[in-house]
Each structure stands twice: as structure tokens, then as C-alpha cells.
Amino acid sequence: MVSSMAAKKTTKITSRANQRTAFGVKILNSSHQDIRRLKRAGNIATLHGNKFWNSSFLIMDYLRKNPLKENLRVLEIGCGWGLLGIYCAKKYNADVTGIDADSNVLPFMTLHAEINKVAIEAKKMSFQQLTVNSLKKFDLIIGADICYWDEMTQILNLLIGRAKRAGVDQIIIADPCRQPFTDLVTKTKKKYPGVKLITKRLKKPVAAAGEILLINCQQSAD
């Protein structure tokens, strides 16, 4: 487990160049000196967590227009650099945990949490390791660009079932409409009530397009 607030010695910001702000969140570019420093230290992503993926912007824009309640317990799955969870912590005072199966991406999450002045708990964990008991600690699960392999469809489908049994209120997943994500949407619509799909396109802060899957886990069938 990596605590973002306990890592100041290893995440000191040494440069203000090569960074940007989107939706109020500071984001370091891949060319930023501190990102390059972490990579030189051996933190090389192995599961596509080598940068910030644009589907997170789709969820940020959705939440900007549909704000979260304050102080929710939020789990970002497949967090990568963790900017979506950081957004929730910064804007809505959420208690955020980020998990990723690749421990090499967690220092990048820690770095971004520090420069955004929020506390994020980071854990190396796969989706399959999230049990019903562990999911009981969360109100909301979020994830962006996490359904990129065929096998992820069933893995996420099973995770949604465990989250529902655990009492999680809502799940929000965004994707640029890869086939595994489309298959996941089809499965969830057939299996659960309270499922919505939103198509979204952004021009700023970057050009991004895709769909957002919204699952109200506590809605019962009529």
C-alpha cells in the first residue's frame, strides 16, 4: 500500500514546466521532469498505465454537470495515474482509494495526489481481488479506459455483481467504445435494472469521445 501523504521525500516537485490543468486538476505531461525521474527509477508501466487516458475527462465532465455528494467513499479501479480519483477528492472531498494491478503506476498517482494537495490511498490489487467484504467500504466505483481486453468483459461483469451484493450505490465506467466495453454494456443491461449509457464528446481540454456506463446498483427490478 502506498500513502500519497507519506511520500513527500520521493515526490518533490522540481519543475513547473510541462504541466497543465483540466477540470481543476493539475496534470504533469509525460515529458515533465518528475515523470521522467520516476521512470528512470524503474517505474515502467506494464499494463497500459503509462499515461493519462482521455476517458477520465468524459467522467469528469459528467460529474461537473452531475455533482457527487460530499465525502463519498470512492474506489477508482485500474487507476493508473489516478487523476479521476484525485478529481473526486479535490472537488467533492471524497475519501478515495485507487487500485491498479501494476504497482509501477502507483508512484505516478502519489505524485499527482501531492501536487493537487489531496490524500489518496493507493493499493496494488487486481479486479479479481476485490471481494464483497472489501467492496462494502465504498459508495461509488469509478473507472476509465479499463475494458480493453476481451477477458475484461467478464471480469468486470463479475465485479459489478460483487459490488451490488456489497451495497455499493453506483458504478461509473467510461470507454472510447472498444468491443469488450460494448459487450459489458450489453451484459449489464440484460442483467441489472438501473443501467444507463451516455454518449459524450469533448473538444476541450482535449478531443475525446466515448460512452459512460452508469449503474445504479441499488435500484430494484420493477
Q: pLDDT by residue (tens digit) across 35-45? A: 888 888 877 76
Judge whether 27 and 48 are in contact, CB under 8 Å: no
Task: Read off φ and ψ for residue 183, nearest 5 degrees.
Answer: -65, -40
> What 3-state class would DSSP assign to 136?
coil
The CATH T-level fold of domain 2-216 is: Rossmann fold (3.40.50)
Task: Give per-residue pLDDT as tens, 151-192.
Answer: 999 999 999 999 999 999 999 999 999 999 999 999 999 999
Report pLDDT for 8. Answer: 38
Task: Give per-residue pLDDT as tens, 76-120.
Answer: 999 999 999 999 999 999 999 999 999 999 999 999 999 999 999
Q: Is the pTM of this model over 0.85?
A: yes
Report pLDDT for 9. Answer: 39
Q: Where are the domains of the chain?
A: 2-216
